[in-house]
Amino acid sequence: MKRNFFQFTFNVSFLFLFVSILCFSLNVVFNLTNPSNEIADVNLVLFNKNFGTTIITYIHRMAILTSSTALSLIIVEVISRIRKDSLLNYAKSIYQTFRMRYFLRQYHSTPTETTGNPKGNHYNPILKSFNHAVSKCVVDIRKEKTIVLLKVPNTQQAQKLLEERIESIQKEITSRHPHYYFSAPNRIGNKLWFIGTRR
């Protein structure tokens, strides 16, 4: 089973949007902190101004590139939804994706003792691997079908953690999409597919 355009580009689009917002913010900060001509050392002013101008130029180009790429991907998906499905389902897909990611994320740090620091909180590497995988989850809602796509973690222990939660995940998916009948999850490669057809 292959991912469709929405499933393939969702994470990339939001990454590009995040990077473009970050670049625009840095651009504003660099413009506000540009050295003024009141500083006594003229050489320092010229060096800082040239260095700042170079950085601002690269950040500005990066912001334009990432934002235009993200908007292009989003526009293609919007046009596809208008022609074949509905914009409401597109909005629902985005909303349900973030809700599902929040549901799947595990918040737990274990107290550990290390040689340098007698007591401290250490983030569990199993949960780190698990959370990294579920942060790629995508919910794709269509008129006739809903697909929840989960990335399977890389480590064996994190995969075991996912397997222990399959039943609760399936119940959560079913409760959030009552108009769809979901079959048992199907693993293909490093992806776990929950496919629901309209009742």
| The total number of structural domains that make up the chain | 2
152: in domain: yes
Residue pLDDT, tens place only, 81-95: 999 999 999 999 999
The helix or strand, by DSSP H or E, that contains position 157, with its residue range, turns out to be helix 156-176
Domain end (from 49, 84, 119) = 84
Same domain, 71 and 103: no
Instruction: Record the pTM.
Output: 0.80
105: in domain: yes
Contacts of 114 (CB under 8 A, 6+ apart): 120, 122
Residue pLDDT, tens place only, 13-24: 999 999 999 988
